[in-house]
Amino acid sequence: MDKIIRFIFFGNYFVGFLAVALTVEATLQLRLPFNSLNYYLLLFLAPTIYYTYAYNKVSNQPLATNPRAQWYFKHKKLINWSQSILFTVCTSLIVNLLYDNFNNLLKLPISYWAAIVVVVVAALLYYGLLPKSFLKFNLRSTGWLKAFVIGFVWACCANVLPLIMLKIETGIGYHDSVLWTWQFIKNWMFCTVNAIIFDIKDYPTDANKHLRTFVVRYGLRKTIFQILIPLLIVGLFSLGIFANYKGFGLPQVLCNVLPFVVTIYVAYSMHRRKNILYYLMVIDGLILFKAICGIIGMQFVTN
């Protein structure tokens, strides 16, 4: 069981599942048709490959203090083999998607192409995956901006890419800009808070690299009580205002409030040291919990 858990979480398969869960939540909340199975499979595989490639790239030696680095070093052959298979499947899905929707892709409005470019560039710069000879800039090295970049990419994954694919696959556009904007900002801020909490794990490494994340800049206690908890409380107030504006029912409101309350509790508990699997299972698990709550909340919507 321990090996299976490490394979799922260290191998970033859980990350792929999070991407699908967030997208399903956003699709239901925006009351849109679901994308094709091809797209959801691609959505699961792409983040898994992306995160594994990025981490495998820097895990060339077994660091005694980093169990994940040790796991990558120990299973180098397995990771390379699985990456090759996943990449082949992912490429096949892309080719199939392009073949089925080539004409619609050519008719895609310029605003959609602009969104695609922004998401792709942010994803590439996010881990510094472009060759250094081409561009040395790495968005994750921008200190406090790092968490907002991570949150932005995840919000795009949940709220931008599904709309683009829906337009490509069905020609259907989305016109409720108020609801979409609120959903995008909510996901952006929630995933940003999640990334700030996750930075607590990397505090010693980031400090040695002079990477001025919130935790390095302000310390653990100030980050928890002056940044994380206030951001989450603001999120709760904004949720209440928007719920009143849109006429959400009480069950739907409670389902959307619960992830914020649980995240406040988890943020408060972070003054105690946690291991890497705690971050991968519990901290990242908050995103899954949010998605599940959002999906359940939509079951109470009757109109």
At 39 the pLDDT is 94
303 lies in a domain? no
Q: Is the pLDDT of residue 130 over 70?
A: no
* Average pLDDT of the residues of the chain: 84
Residue 31: pLDDT band (50, 70, 90) is: confident
Residues 15, 262: Cα–Cα separation, whole Å? 20
Q: Is the pLDDT of residue 301 over 60?
A: yes
At 61 the pLDDT is 59
Backbone φ and ψ for 187, nearest 5 degrees, come out as: -65, -40
Q: What tokens does 250 get?
A: 């009480």
Residues 236, 259: Cα–Cα separation, whole Å? 10
21 lies in a domain? yes
Residue 152's H or E segment, with its range, is helix 145-159
Residue 302: pLDDT band (50, 70, 90) is: low
Find out whether 71 and 281 touch, Cβ atoms under 8 Å.
no
Task: Tell me the mean pLDDT in the region 91-99.
Answer: 93
219 lies in a domain? yes
Residues 183, 140: Cα–Cα separation, whole Å? 24
**Which residues make Cβ contacts (< 8 Å) with residue 224, sequence separation at least 6?**
267, 268, 270, 271
Q: What is the DSSP string of 181-224?
A: HHHHHHHHHHHHHHHHHHHTTTHHHHHHTT---HHHHH-HHHII
At 136 the pLDDT is 58
At 142 the pLDDT is 59
Greater model confidence, 237 or 124? 237
Domain residues for 180? 2-298
Q: Is the pLDDT of residue 183 over 90?
A: no
Task: Tell me the mean pLDDT in the region 61-65.
Answer: 59
Residue with tokens 């994954």: 157
147 lies in a domain? yes
Greater model confidence, 74 or 273? 74
Residue 125's H or E segment, with its range, is helix 110-126
Find out whether 249 and 303 touch, Cβ atoms under 8 Å.
no
At 244 the pLDDT is 80
Residue type, 189: M
Residue type, 201: K
What's this model's pTM, rounded to 2 decimal places?
0.88
Q: Is the pLDDT of residue 63 over 60?
A: no
- 90-94, 196-200, 298-302 — which one is most confidently predicted on average? 90-94
Number of domains the chain contains: 1
CA atoms within 13 A of residue 255's CA, in its CB half-sphere? 18
179 lies in a domain? yes
Backbone φ and ψ for 35, nearest 5 degrees, come out as: -75, 175
Q: Is the pLDDT of residue 116 over 70?
A: yes
> What pLDDT digit, counting tens, does each position of 138-182 carry?
555 556 677 888 888 899 999 999 999 999 988 887 777 888 888
> What pLDDT digit, counting tens, does each position of 220-274 carry?
888 888 888 888 888 888 888 888 877 788 888 899 899 999 999 988 888 777 7
